Amino acid sequence: MKRNILLLCFLLSQAAGFAQRVDEGTVFPTRQTPVHDPVLIRQDSLYYLFCTGFGITVYSSKDLLSWRREKPVFHRAPEWAVKAIPGYRGHTWAPDISYHNGTYYLFYSVSAFGKNTSCIGVATNKTLDATSKDFKWVDHGKVIQSVPGRDLWNAIDPNLIMDEQGAPWLVFGSFWQGIKLVRLNADLTAVASPEEWYTVASRARNPILPDTVAGDGAIEGPFIFRKDHYYYLFVSFDYCCRGEKSTYKVMVGRSTQVQGPYVDRDGVPMNLSGGSLVIEGNKEWNGVGHSATVSFDGVDYLVFHGYDAADGGRSKLRMEKISWVNGWPVVGK
């Protein structure tokens, strides 16, 4: 127990140390933009980046080369989340942004660090343009909650995917028994009834650990991208949030249906610890991960964060074009 408390204190101190105060209007070049868990979308001529931060951090860009800090999504912590998650005061994790039926849907995570005391919420907006008269974030509250002692999954890191029939699904999860997929209702604010749940990826976990401990089997940050005849499931293996000691890397598998099974290049199912390497850390970037995959003007991009070895392991924005070789994503080559 003492070891777990010391580890938690270390990780929290690392996270605080790598956080940077950034004023609204500050502009950064891409690889110097301080982000964690980024996701990207375009409205008209502007790109909008959402990422982990107090109230959910937002940046905008005209060219994908420089990024301007905008106002956060929430100016105060959602009241429902403060009541649901002990200790939550507004630092909100791993958002996901989508456009559906004329509305922007922003899923987000609230959690106690290192525990599966977690919830996924959703907010909507008619526009991302803060100068528009229609700009207003409307929070719809909790979509999914995980409870220690009841659930061996963690309700964080959401990503919305529509299947070929237009049905909405939410993929999410971190550690424990891995990455889950659940069907949502038509308005995207709750789990559909009757419920449909799937485990689409996981890694071996020490069975003697108590349910309340994340433990080993590090896997999180799922994102599903549909291309041609396949759904591609990107996940992050190993450890984030440790600065220069981070070991994050991005893995992938694919399936012909959104529910899986997802398999890697060698045919190993991702729910049996499978996954093919997409990108990993090197001497310049200690670890890289929590990716999103987007497409603009016929070009596919992997958007993720990396821990900058030249800046003490601070987390920065990374974007790489994706090449598809024999039906598999290749970046950085």
**Two structure tokens written together for 294:** 């987007």
Question: Is 37 known to be catalytic?
Answer: yes
Residue pair 202/221 in contact (Cβ under 8 Å)? The answer is no
Question: Is 220 known to be catalytic?
Answer: yes
User: Of 270, 246, 107, 250, nearest to 178 (Cα)?
Assistant: 270
CA 285/CA 300 separation, integer angstroms: 22
Question: Residue 50: CB partners within 8 Å, gap ≥ 6?
Answer: 38, 39, 40, 41, 56, 57, 58, 73, 95, 96, 97, 106
C-alpha dist (Å) from residue 207 to 3, 214, 218: 19, 11, 14
CA 326 to chain centre: 27
Question: Residue 11: CB partners within 8 Å, gap ≥ 6?
Answer: 113, 114, 241, 242
Q: Which of 220, 238, 264, 320 is catalytic?
A: 220
Residue pair 261/234 in contact (Cβ under 8 Å)? The answer is no
Residue pair 254/230 in contact (Cβ under 8 Å)? The answer is yes
Q: Which residues are catalytic?
A: 37, 220
